[in-house]
Amino acid sequence: MTILQRYIAQAILTSTGLVLLVLLGLYTFMDFIVEIEDVGKGQYQLTDVLAYLALSMPKRIYELLPIAALLGSVLGLGNMASQSELVVMRAAGISIEGINKAVMFVAIGLMLLALFVGEVIRPPAEQSARELQSMAQTGTVGSRSDNGFWTRDGTHFNHIDRILPDGRFAGVSIYVFDDQNRLRVVTKAKEASYDGEQWILSGVTQSNLDKEGVSVKAVEYAKWRSQLNPGLLNVVVVPPEFLPVWSLIEYIRYLKINHQSVGQYQMAFWMKVMMPLSSAVMVFLAVPFVFGPLRSTPIGARILVGALVGIGFHLFNQSFQHIGLVFGVLPWLAASLPTFLFAVVGYYWMNKIE
């Protein structure tokens, strides 16, 4: 990169950082208003709210990054245009392509930042935030619903009432069916703990159903071999959009083996794949904003239009993904089409400039 290209990239990154801080502060304040209503529920106190909001910061950064990238790029390039710096650069021989190279360097950097936040920082932070909130309010780690959650291992259907803070299960019910889908065995256990290879059930009562009737036996301990392990447990508890890609891939494979619906998790996987590209496309759109039809408008108007475009992209992206799930659109297509369309629009505007 040349000195001027580094200068352009620095101006865009500085503006993007400022916009991100402003948006982060606004959304954090709104989250604080929502969470403060739950203070007093169980042991949930103000310090817990502040800790929860701090742990939720990576989630907000990840969600706001595309909009911040567009607004920051428009603001950075717009300030340079209003001070005639871009005009001087072009008069000195810097082409639109040269300016665009600096912009794309920023786009690549934001892609890497989105990957790092989304795959390294966000998943454990979001899980910790949910565990902290659930422990403070209810004394247990949060589960799928108030009535526990269900999993499946082939012909075994498992119901778990609660997940204890140390990772053990409380209130385990295992229903085993035969090839004709007839219930054959019902096993209930007070608790289940994982020893590295299998689950150890304690306080076990097992009911066997056959043609002769029902026979019941009780034992203190029993072994339970299941594909569900503590790693997959995090997938079950945490919503799919907050999971790292490798956990989604593992759980999708688990669901396919057990012939369960994978659409929601495939959509979450492709959303995470497209998220860094979305941030890059938003930065790419900033160049037409500055050199295109809006070049003669005030910087405030450009920022307003940029905000509308960024919010429009976010709403269109989220809506189309949900529509894709409802109507059975291929997950990769539903997740990538909005980003692809905005990239095509940006490319068209760029050619109009030239």
Backbone angles phi and psi of 166, in degrees to 5: -90, 10
Q: Does the domain made of 155-226 have the CATH classification 2.60.450.10?
A: yes
Q: How far apart are CA 183 and CA 220, in angstroms?
A: 23
DSSP letter for 141, please.
B
Q: How far apart are CA 229 and CA 178, in angstroms?
A: 24
Q: How far apart are CA 64 and CA 278, in angstroms?
A: 11
Query: Lowest-confidence range among 61-65, 136-140, 192-196, 291-295?
Result: 291-295
What's the average model confidence in pLDDT over 65-70?
Answer: 87
- Measured at the CA of 171, the angle between CA 154 and CA 41, to 5 degrees, comes to 125
Q: How far apart are CA 28 and CA 26, in angstroms?
A: 5
Domain ranges in the chain are 3-139+263-353, 155-226
Provide the pairing of β-strand 149-153 with 213-224: unpaired
Query: Lowest-confidence range among 77-91, 138-152, 233-247, 296-310?
Result: 138-152
Provide the pairing of β-strand 149-153 with 169-177: unpaired
Band of the pLDDT at 144, cuts 50, 70, 90? very low
DSSP letter for 244, please.
-
* CA 16 from centroid of its chain's CA atoms: 21
Predicted pLDDT at 204: 92
Show Cβ contacts of residue 348 under 8 Å, excluding neighbours closer than 6 positions: none
Q: How far apart are CA 74 and CA 287, in angstroms?
A: 8
For the cut 90, the answer to whether the pLDDT of residue 53 exceeds it is yes
pTM score, whole prediction: 0.69
In a 10 Å sphere around its CB, with 0-12 CB exposed, 13-18 middle and 19+ buried, how is residue 331 labelled? Answer: buried
Predicted pLDDT at 295: 57
Show Cβ contacts of residue 307 under 8 Å, excluding neighbours closer than 6 positions: 67, 71
Please report which residue ranges of the chain form alpha helices under DSSP H. 3-36, 46-55, 57-82, 85-91, 96-116, 122-138, 230-237, 245-257, 263-284, 286-291, 299-327, 331-353
Predicted pLDDT at 292: 60
Predicted pLDDT at 235: 57
For the cut 90, the answer to whether the pLDDT of residue 285 exceeds it is no
Q: How far apart are CA 136 and CA 173, in angstroms?
A: 27
Predicted pLDDT at 138: 63
